[in-house]
Amino acid sequence: MADREFGFETQCLHAGQLPDAATGARAAPIYQTTSYVFDSTDHAASLFNLQTFGNVYSRMMNPTNAMLEERLATLEGGRAGLVVGSGMAAQMVALLTLLESGDELVSASTLYGGTYSQFDYSFRRMGINTHFVDPDDPENFAKAITPATKAVYAETIGNPLNNVLDISAVAKIAHDAGVPLVIDNTFGTPYLCRPFEHGADIVVHSVTKWIGGHGSSIGGAVIESGKFPWDNGKFPGMTEPSKGYHGIRFYETFGDFGFVTKARMETLRTLGPSMSPLSAFLFLQGLETLPLRMDRHCTNTLAVARFLDDHPLVSWVKYAGLPDNPYHQLAQKYLPKGAGGVLTFGIRGGQAAGIRFIESAQFLSHLANVGDAKTLVIHPASTTHRQLNEEEQASAGVSPDMVRMSVGLETLDDILWDIEQALAKSQES
Amino acid sequence: MSTDIETLRRILGASQVIAVVGLSANWWRPSYFAAKYMQDHGYRIIPVNPNYKEILGERCYPSLEDIPDDINIDIVDVFQRAELAPPLAHSAVAIGAKIFWLQLGIVNDEAADIARQGGLGVVMDYCVKIEHGRLMGGLNLFGVSTGVISAKRPKWLVY
Ligand SMILES: Cc1ncc(COP(=O)(O)O)c(C=O)c1O
């Protein structure tokens, strides 16, 4: 009898987590330990050689983290996953597993500000050059690819521009050049969009956001599809004996989970940005309700977008769920269940009115995060994208009058009420 | 052809002796990884490779037919190019093995038919180590999506 293909909601609750073998505990145990005893020196050697699966040290692996890794990999429709200490660490671990000094990255310019800085500042210091391109025309990626390019990078929905990527078009361009497409699916979540189904090869997440949904922990994840042909000649690090790990050939030995294993045993092991098992437990709790929360985030966000769109004090609204949004077509293709939980808008009165709006809100929280169950607001030009100059801000889609809102799960009428009263106050001087 | 979880569990649970055809003595080769893992998990490994005398502390035989009759082979596990599989399927039938297993990446329908006609169970294009780790625990510790969904307490401990 063929194995049942379980639905997304079932996998949110069960994937990666059987009852605990030792105790029968049904909830995920928090394995708060750094290390694991070896049965013998031979057992230890097998573990270090990766000849047997098992735990050595929690910088690389931990049973609670492993449950989250398997659950995320399953939800994305991928082969294997790795969790790390933050979304930034996830991008770093994924990309430093692929690129070394002298290699190049081609990335969408419309990125979370911290990501832009990671590529533009930190990676350049390591000799890895990023070419930033306008992602609206996929051909721009093709034009920027050189023989030194080792990966193409973009966000499903750009933060904060709210632009939707034509994933399959960019995937084709990456594959024509023999390199993987890495997608930051933080704003999509696997409930709204599964980039692997559209040709992406590696997905990274800031699980800090909707995956957790509680705004209580920082974390990230790297997931591989298991389908990229690493033996195409461009990735000797996957096919040749590893200098970083006992001469193992990761692709030959681990096949369709070779990339994640290399990321774990070389990059995470030597750079060290691990996730705490307590955080992993909290993210597992969050994932249990991901579908319910995302449905509500999307309906609330669309309702807020419509409300703002009709409001005389609002000059523009960007949300791909609105039919007249330039990304609406792409959103219908890639995000059919909803265009996500974030919108941006401009207030009449520019920067000063934007700041007064944010400071006048009663329960809309003014902070630098998205994807909390609570509604969050921020003025990107003066906060998240402050490190960028005006030109870079514009290229990342940030204008001085822009307010970004991550719409939460409060009573919709209350959210609209708070927006209305804060908009009114934004016009007072 | 994909093999369902119940069938794989039954095969791995009922088998004790695995003849590994094409086993390498080099510790970093996938065949050695798989055989060492299975040996560590209680299976007896019978190496089959004309180039070696002994691997993993077990005597190595040049061919399946050279394995003495008093060793009952449950699984013939093949690490060879796909085109070499049909004669190995005949040999697996001849020595009375129960399962003919072609490793990950090895697909040969003719060999599978030979083995099935000879009364053997067939697993094709799977790694014996990965499937053991997937279904008896271990692979999940490496973040791999196992496809296992269950509310029954596992009766094994990972080691
Ligand atoms: C799209 C996106 N990617 C990555 C990150 C970085 O994640 P973290 O804050 O978990 O390091 C963020 C955080 O704001 C984000 O919005």
How many residues appear in chain A? 429
Domain annotation covers residue A24: yes
Residue B96 token pair: 């009375």
Q: Which atom of ligand 1 is nearest to the CA of A159?
A: 1
Residues A321 and A255 reside in one and the same domain: no
Whether A259 and A224 have beta carbons less than 8 Å apart is answered as yes
Domain annotation covers residue A32: yes
Q: How far is CA B32 from CA A168, A222, A365, B60, in A?
A: 39, 29, 57, 13
- Cα-based angle A368, A373, A379 (whole degrees, multiple of 5): 25
Residue B1 scores a pLDDT above 60: no
- Beta strand pairing status for A80-84 and A220-224? antiparallel
Which ranges constitute the DSSP H helices of A18-127? Answer: 41-48, 63-75, 87-98, 113-117, 124-125
CA dist., res. A7 & res. A14, Å (int): 11
Ligand 1 centre distance from Cα of residue A157 (Å): 12
User: Could you report how far apart the first and last alpha carbons of chain A are, in Å?
Assistant: 71
Nearest residue, CB atoms, A18 vs list B6, B145, B148: B148
Peptide bond into A323 cis (omega under 30): no
CA dist., res. A333 & res. B49, Å (int): 53
Residue ending a domain, choose from A286, A306, A324: A286
Taking the CA of residue B19 as centre, how many other CA atoms within 13 Å lie in the half-sphere pointing to its CB? 31
Sheet containing A129-133: give its strands across.
A80-84, A220-224, A202-206, A181-184, A149-155, A104-108, A129-133
Ligand 1 centre distance from Cα of residue A140 (Å): 24
Q: Which long-range contacts (CB under 8 A, 24 or more apart) does B84-89 make?
A: B85/B110, B85/B111, B86/B110, B86/B111, B86/B114, B88/B21, B88/B64, B89/B114, B89/B115, B89/B118, B89/B120
- A22 Cα to chain B: minimum distance (Å): 8
Residue nearest to atom 8 of ligand 1 (CA): A87
CATH number, residue A103: 3.40.640.10
Whether A165 and A135 have beta carbons less than 8 Å apart is answered as yes
Residue B131 scores a pLDDT above 70: yes
- Cα-based angle B65, B69, B73 (whole degrees, multiple of 5): 75
Residues A56 and A106 reside in one and the same domain: yes
Ligand 1 centre distance from Cα of residue A226 (Å): 24
Tell me if chain B has a CB within 8 Å of the CB of A391. no
CA dist., res. A369 & res. A378, Å (int): 8
B142 with A21: Cβ contact below 8 A: no
What's the domain count of chain A? 2
A61 with B141: Cβ contact below 8 A: yes
Domain annotation covers residue A98: yes
Taking the CA of residue B62 as centre, how many other CA atoms within 13 Å lie in the half-sphere pointing to its CB? 2
Domain annotation covers residue B159: no
Q: Residue A96 CB: number of other CB atoms within 10 A?
A: 18
Ligand 1 centre distance from Cα of residue A207 (Å): 8
Residue ending a domain, choose from A217, A251, A286: A286
> Consecutive 10-residue runs of chain A (429 residues): their mean pLDDT?
94 97 96 96 89 94 98 98 98 98 97 93 98 97 98 96 96 98 98 98 98 97 98 97 87 94 97 98 98 98 98 97 98 98 94 91 96 95 79 80 96 98 93
Domain annotation covers residue B27: yes
Contacts of B130 in chain A (CB under 8 A): 255
Residues A248 and A346 reside in one and the same domain: no
A18 with B154: Cβ contact below 8 A: yes
What's the domain count of chain B? 1
Residues A338 and A384 reside in one and the same domain: yes
Largest CA distance in chain A: 75
Ligand 1 centre distance from Cα of residue A218 (Å): 9
**pLDDT over 70 percentage in chain B:** 99
Q: What is the DSSP string of B107-123?
A: --HHHHHHHHHTT-EEE
What is the H or E stretch that residue A234 is in? none
CATH number, residue B65: 3.40.50.720
Residues A205 and A306 reside in one and the same domain: no
Domain annotation covers residue A3: no
Collapse the DSSP code of A144 into the 3-class scheme (helix H, G, I; strand E, B; otherwise coil) and give the result: helix
Whether A113 and A384 have beta carbons less than 8 Å apart is answered as yes
CATH number, residue A346: 3.90.1150.10
Nearest CA among A227, A189, A225 for reference residue A209: A189
Domain annotation covers residue B15: yes
Domain annotation covers residue A400: yes
Nearest CA among B143, B156, B130 for reference residue A73: B143
Residue B107 scores a pLDDT above 70: yes
Nearest residue, CB atoms, A6 vs list B5, B149, B158: B149
Residues A306 and A280 reside in one and the same domain: no
Tell me if chain A has a CB within 8 Å of the CB of B1. no
Q: Which atom of ligand 1 is nearest to the CA of A220?
A: 10
Q: Which atom of ligand 1 is nearest to the CA of A384?
A: 14
Domain annotation covers residue A2: no
Nearest CA among B129, B4, B136, B2 for reference residue A18: B136
- Beta strand pairing status for A202-206 and A149-155? unpaired
Domain annotation covers residue B43: yes
Residue B58 scores a pLDDT above 60: yes
Q: Give the pLDDT of residue B116.
A: 98
Domain annotation covers residue B154: no
Q: Give the pLDDT of residue B98.
A: 98
Residues A322 and A201 reside in one and the same domain: no
Nearest CA among B76, B79, B82, B77 for reference residue B107: B82
Domain annotation covers residue B121: yes
Q: At a CB cut-off of 8 Å and minimum separation 6, what does A420 contact?
A: none
Q: What is the DSSP string of B114-148?
A: HHHHTT-EEEES--HHHHHHHHHSSGGGGTB----
Residue ending a domain, choose from A286, A319, A349: A286
Domain span at residue B137? 5-142
Tell me if chain B has a CB within 8 Å of the CB of A253. yes
Domain span at residue A94? 8-286
Whether A297 and A338 have beta carbons less than 8 Å apart is answered as yes
Residues A252 and A348 reside in one and the same domain: no
Whether A340 and A187 have beta carbons less than 8 Å apart is answered as yes
Residue A224 token pair: 């591989």
Q: Give the pLDDT of residue A386.
A: 78
Collapse the DSSP code of A310 into the 3-class scheme (helix H, G, I; strand E, B; otherwise coil) and give the result: coil
A63 with B156: Cβ contact below 8 A: no
Domain annotation covers residue B68: yes
Q: Is residue A298 within 6 Å of ligand 1 at its C-beta? A: no
Q: What is the pLDDT of residues A309-340, one digit of tens each?
A: 999 999 999 999 999 999 999 999 999 999 99
Q: Is the ipTM of this complex over 0.85?
A: yes
The answer to pTM > 0.80 is yes
Domain annotation covers residue A1: no
What is the H or E stretch that residue A299 is in? helix A290-309
Nearest residue, CB atoms, A66 vs list B4, B141, B147: B141
Residues A242 and A351 reside in one and the same domain: no
Residues A248 and A307 reside in one and the same domain: no
Nearest residue, CB atoms, B40 vs list A46, A67, A264: A46
Residues A273 and A403 reside in one and the same domain: no
Domain annotation covers residue B76: yes
